[in-house]
């Protein structure tokens, strides 16, 4: 091999590495709405309904309103459920002292129906993982 072909091969290797790094960074930075593990980790106690809907990308699939009696009297609460291909998220909102309903309880249940799971998101890496069977 000549010095020129070695140099050319090195530059091709560098270019391939840069492209793969760019794909990985882009995939990691792109946010996808929906009921995903990553979005579930973003939910926190004290968030408003609008903030939760913003993270999950849509209004709840199901909503229940109720009241509970405690030492301080009756308190109103709402339960919202979001369903995704892999899990269901249940978020309980209680009316805070400032008059805004805020997250008081989060729970998640995996899809246990035995149905084939969809690959969440249409990005490059999930498609590649599905193709490789991982």
- Render each residue's pLDDT in the chain as its tens digit; 134 residues: 788 888 888 898 888 888 888 777 776 566 567 888 888 888 888 899 999 998 888 999 999 888 776 665 557 889 999 988 778 889 999 887 788 888 888 888 776 554 434 434 445 565 566 556 55
Quote the pLDDT of residue 118. 42
CA 134 to chain centre: 19
Which among 123, 116, 134, 102 is positioned nearest to 38, based on CA atoms? 123
pLDDT of residue 115: 43
Q: How far apart are CA 103 and CA 32, in angstroms?
A: 22
Point out which residues pair with 93 in neighbouring strands: 78, 103
Phi, psi of 81 (to 5 degrees): -125, 135
Single pTM value for the model: 0.58
Q: Residue 75 and residue 69: Cα distance in Å, rounded?
A: 6
Q: Return the CATH number of the domain spanning residue range 33-112.
A: 3.30.1450
């Amino acid at each position: 091999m000549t010095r020129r072909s070695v140099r050319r091969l090195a530059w091709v290797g560098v270019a391939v590495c840069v492209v793969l790094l760019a794909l990985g960074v882009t995939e990691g930075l792109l946010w996808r709405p929906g009921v995903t593990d990553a979005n579930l980790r973003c939910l926190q106690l004290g968030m408003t309904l609008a903030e939760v809907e913003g993270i999950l990308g849509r209004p709840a699939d199901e909503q229940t309103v109720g009241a509970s009696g405690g030492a301080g009297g009756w308190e109103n609460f709402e339960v919202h459920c979001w369903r995704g291909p892999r899990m269901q998220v249940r978020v309980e909102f209680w009316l805070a002292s400032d008059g805004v309903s805020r997250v008081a309880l989060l729970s998640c249940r995996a899809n246990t129906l035995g149905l084939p799971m969809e690959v969440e998101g249409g990005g490059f890496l999930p498609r590649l993982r599905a193709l490789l069977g991982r």
